[in-house]
A and B are shown apart, each in its own frame.
Chain A
Amino acid sequence: MNLPNNPPELVCPAGTPAALRTAIDAGADAVYCGFQNATNARNFPGLNFTPEEMEESVDYAHKRGKKVLLALNTFPPAGQTSLWKQAVANGVRLGVDAMIVADIGVAHHIATLYPDQRLHLSVQAGAPSVEAIRYYCEEFGVKRVVLPRILSIPEIKQLKSEIPCEIETFIFGNQGLMAEGRCSLTNFVSGVSTNFDGVCSPPSDVTFYEDKNNMLCSQLGEFTIDCFSCAQGAGYPTICKGKYVAPHRDDPYYAFEEPISLNLFDLLPQMIGAGIEAFKIEGRQRSRAYIRQVVSTWRLAVDSVMQGKTIPKADLVALTEGQKETTGAFRSKKWR
Chain B
Amino acid sequence: MSTKLTLGPVLFNWKAEYWRDFYFRAADEWDVDTVYVGEVICSKRSPFFEPYYGEVAERLSAAGKKAVFSTLSEIMIPRERKMTKSVCALDDYPVEANDAAALFHLRGKPHYIGQYVNTYNEDTMAHLVKNGAQHFTFPSELYAAALKTLVTEAKKLGAGSEIMVFGRAPLALSARCYHARAHNKIKDNCQFVCENDPDGMELRTVNGKAFLTINGVQTMSHTYMNLAQEVPEMMRWGLDYIRLSPHTLDMGTVIEVFQGVVQGRCEPLEAIRKIQEIDASLKFSNGFFYHKPGYLWQSAA
Seen from chain A, the residues whose Cβ lies within 8 Å of a Cβ on chain B are 75-81, 102-106, 108-109, 125-132, 134-136, 139, 148, 150-151, 155, 177-179, 181-185, 187-191, 193, 195-196, 211, 217, 221-227, 240, 242-249, 252-253, 255-257, 329, 333-336
Contacts and interface: CB of A to CB of B under 8 A. Distances in A.
B155 to A, nearest CB: 13
B286 to A, nearest CB: 12
B294 A255 contact: no
Interface of B: 73-77, 80-81, 84-85, 99-101, 103-105, 107, 116, 118, 120-128, 131, 139-143, 145-147, 149-150, 153, 169-178, 181-183, 186-188, 201-209, 211-212, 214, 219, 221, 287-288, 291-295
Nearest to A140: B127
Query: 10 nearest interchain CB pairs?
Result: A105-B123, A150-B175, A105-B124, A78-B149, A132-B100, A131-B101, A188-B294, A131-B104, A184-B141, A135-B104
A190 to B, nearest CB: 6
16 contacts: A78-B149, A78-B153, A131-B81, A132-B99, A136-B100, A177-B176, A179-B172, A182-B118, A183-B173, A185-B212, A187-B288, A189-B294, A224-B207, A224-B209, A244-B205, A245-B206
Chain B binding surface SS class: mixed
B294 A333 contact: no
B206 A184 contact: no
B206 A129 contact: no
A190 B201 CA distance: 23
Contacts of A189: 293-295
Nearest to A151: B76
B173 A179 contact: yes
A132 B128 contact: no
Nearest to B100: A132
B123 A109 contact: yes
Contact of B176 (A76, A125, A131, A336): A336
Contacts of B171: 183-185, 188
Nearest to A246: B182
Contact of A104 (B99, B128, B150, B211): B128
B257 to A, nearest CB: 25
Contacts of A196: 120
- The winner among B104, B126, B145, B183 for most chain A CB atoms within 10 A is B104
